[in-house]
Chains A and B, each alone.
Chain A
């Protein structure tokens, strides 16, 4: 099956005007495989994780589970740190979204834990138009890393994107399956 490319995400303002769009990761298992394969991943939490409901939980609950299942360092943007502290989690770094993207552009940056530049960056909860711009920056200027937009509105400028998931229930299922599968899939060679 040919790889599906994201060109028309949920929001029209984010329609791709270019030739390189994200690979759509339809199955959570495949998403887990991509994350499991990464050696120095980073997870960027955007402001919307704080108050976006996913079923009876919040987006931040799932994002934290994803991060914690693989000990992925977290960058808390905007004012997310406050909510994380309430949940008794300390972020590995605090930058605003554009700042972390600026650092990620630099292949010599040592990453949020000082262990080297990240090879995969996950994004969740960043306002979609702003996220798309940051992803465009990384697409063009950070060939040393891959990006994965864990967002049900989908993002053409990422390397990997979740498809548009209209129904809240399906989104919850996707996230739950991703959490469940992480760390259990043998990375493809």
Chain B
């Protein structure tokens, strides 16, 4: 439905049109179909690739319907459209998780500080909310404005959810366009949530050199009463910090976290510990180190109540999203709840942050002295005994393993007193516990790993939040010219295909090639888990600025917004393109000129899918690890066989560039080696100047030679003229190009796809 006059007036009021910071662009607060032409243009080059995970549909009572090959459901849907519908459903889950998180955070902080509480991100950040500015056309000045952004996300989501109902949307491209919309809304929610917590809790901002904090399961001092928070919403964790501070207990109680809550609470208290990512949840909780487990929300494994019981630990659930069937004690007197938890060993739900914090601390202090024996991890002798029944032959564990690991050998060797393979297994284990469930002899395999797990303590830099406007001014030009070869964000989960060390390896390979490397969430934690010969993690080894050859931890999953924000700011601050309600103009700029690439090496969550899908709408390609194939949709070109015609912004003429850049918008790679060369390639942009392309090709060739042993097999696709060829490889490359009959290709300084599809944005708008 077209927007009516009343809706338009409402939008004008919401975004305060009268605020003259920039003229309002063509798409303020876009609704479901406002960016559809842009989406379809992207899909024209980057065709959806579907890998059905299930051939059936059982969404309504007409089914189950078999959609194999060209069969259709009773409602008429085909297999491709069904995949696209699932993608939308999953993106909506991800967006809802971030959106609800943002809503909760903002409502809480408004209760605390009031709607008019000012957004101030410090002296280095003037463009405070590039995503909200670009998508909504709103310049948020207060917490109340952030609430408007979340309300917009909520409004749009109801229509998107509706489209997934049986007999609604019926075309895969339209489902993909809607998934893009969900992904873009996700980014609005991320930005609103992180800005709210930065200003509301006083997290670091406008500083790059944030503190280094301890990470690793062994960093937890089990001698102290220990509280472990699990999840992604640090609100209660921060209340625990407040309670400890107010009562002078900081040094007496150990506060540690798993997943993003851990990252976010270290932004509030640098004394808190980061245990690790999702893949470590079960492993750690089984050690018994936690006296009290506090679960907040998102990516919290569902069997925590049982694990808490088994470990003799108290459990306090604090989110209305995860109530575990527990009694709601939010209204009860604190002493009464304390008694329930400590004396009666009851697990409780407390939806009042301050009350939950007090209970967690008091319970930990009361329980710790009684739990000393429960904090002892397995000895090697005990592990050998527990593994004794394994002959290594039944392989039920291997067959059940979600990461396809050779568990049988590791357990069998453990039974023989050799722990080497068990140690290696730990590095690849994603903590799914399917092996334990499957083991015919009931061997507690995850627990065995306690004896072989690397017990080092590492340093991670706490999340720094937004990229500074000054940094953007400095790097904008070299990024757009290509002389900084790219900005790479490692985001998302810990469903890594191989060693947990691989994220650090990839990040380091890129940083030493002078890429700007950003990390967030579980990836940021995993990247801290390896050290060089001098005992330094990548956070200690590389500078923390947003600049060539630096390593930046932006923060938790919601902080991903700042890297997309940085790409927008390059267009807005460096290139001075207006971003207010100007989604297509900005995304076109990013797609053609900002060499940015997102990487989710261990994808599993719907949130990561929403983030990745949103990135694609912004023109940022995404590289996924092999588990990403189970998302069931990618966006790929047919490389040199496709039409790569764009418009030369200077002449407004169509030019066939003949070069597939960026080559794919969402692609899975099987190994870390292939991931590295793919990431490097995904940072090529049509706009690269010859020296810039030369630098990028230098990285590409050097990595390809290092890992595959020859010049890249598709090198000819990316050399436009001889000027692009890096000097060190000149002779070799020219001889190769001659051999395969390479022809020069046009080099454009103002490439754009605006004008190649039906849009309200004039081509002239791309030139500033």
Contact = CB atoms under 8 A, between A and B. Distances in A.
B565 interface: no
Interface string B67-85: 0111000000001100000
**Which of B51, B52, B69, B669 has most chain A Cβ within 10 Å?**
B51
Contact of A20 (B49, B55, B627, B634): B55
The residue in B626, B627, B667 that gathers the most chain A C-beta atoms within 10 A of its C-beta is: B626
B404 A11 contact: yes
B708 A79 contact: yes
B55 A19 contact: yes
B670 interface: yes
A180 interface: no
Contacts, number: 126
Interface in B630-669: 630, 632, 634, 636, 638-639, 641, 667-669
Contacts of A140: 50, 52, 55, 68-69, 79-80
Interface string B685-727: 0000000000000000000000111100100000000000000
Given A96-B670, A141-B50, A130 B629 contact: yes
B509 interface: no
Interface string A60-81: 0000000000000000011101
B286 to A, nearest CB: 22
Contacts of B638: 102-103, 106
B399 A11 contact: yes
B678 interface: yes
B395 A18 contact: no
A55 B723 CA distance: 51
Contacts of A78: 669-671, 673-674
A79 B674 contact: yes
Contacts of A102: 49, 636, 638
A136 B52 contact: yes
A17 B56 contact: yes
B400 interface: yes
A98 interface: yes
Interface stretch (A22-30, A33-41, A121-129, A171-179): A121-129
A85 B636 contact: no
Contacts of B68: 18-20, 139-140
B736 interface: no
Interface residues of B, number: 46
Interface in A101-153: 101-103, 105-106, 109, 126-130, 133-134, 136-137, 139-141, 143
Nearest to A9: B399
A128 B53 contact: no
Contact of A79 (B404, B632, B707): B707
Nearest to A126: B670
B497 interface: yes
A94 B713 contact: yes
Contacts of A20: 55, 68-69
Contacts of A85: 709-710
Contacts of B670: 46-47, 77-78, 96-97, 126-127, 130
Contacts of B80: 140-141
A137 B52 contact: yes
Contact of B404 (A77, A128, A139): A128
Given A85-B710, A103-B638, A133 B404 contact: no
A99 B55 CA distance: 22
Nearest to B78: A140
A137 B51 contact: yes
A13 interface: yes
Contact of B630 (A17, A94, A109, A129): A129
Interface in B387-424: 395, 398-402, 404
A60 B104 CA distance: 54
B126 to A, nearest CB: 41
B709 A82 contact: yes
Contacts of B673: 78-79
Contact of B710 (A11, A81, A143): A81
Contacts of B710: 81, 85
B49 A98 contact: yes
Contacts of A143: 69-70
B49 A129 contact: no
Nearest to B627: A129
B428 interface: no
A129 B629 contact: yes
A122 B768 CA distance: 53
B334 interface: no
A124 to B, nearest CB: 13
Among A20, A82, A130, residue most surrounded by chain B Cβ atoms (within 10 Å): A130
B340 interface: no
Contact of A96 (B56, B69, B641, B674): B674
Interface in A5-21: 10-13, 16-20
A166 interface: yes
Contacts of B713: 81, 93-94
A82 B707 contact: yes
A166 B395 contact: yes
Contacts of A106: 638
B371 interface: no
Given A102-B49, A136-B52, A140-B69, A12 B629 contact: no
B69 A139 contact: yes
B629 A18 contact: no
B434 interface: yes
Contacts of B66: 18-19
Contacts of B708: 79, 81-82, 94
Nearest to B55: A18
A29 B667 CA distance: 37
B56 A18 contact: yes
B54 interface: yes
B629 A98 contact: yes
B506 to A, nearest CB: 14
A98 B634 contact: yes
Contacts of A96: 667-670, 674, 678
A10 B399 contact: yes
A120 to B, nearest CB: 18
A139 B52 CA distance: 9
A133 to B, nearest CB: 4
Nearest to A105: B49
Nearest to B676: A79
Contacts of B398: 10
Given A18-B54, A133-B51, 12 more contacts: A17-B55, A18-B56, A19-B68, A47-B670, A79-B671, A81-B709, A102-B49, A102-B636, A129-B630, A130-B670, A140-B69, A143-B70
7 interchain residue pairs of minimum CB distance: A18-B55, A133-B51, A133-B629, A79-B673, A82-B709, A17-B54, A94-B713
5 contacts: A17-B53, A18-B68, A136-B52, A140-B50, A140-B68
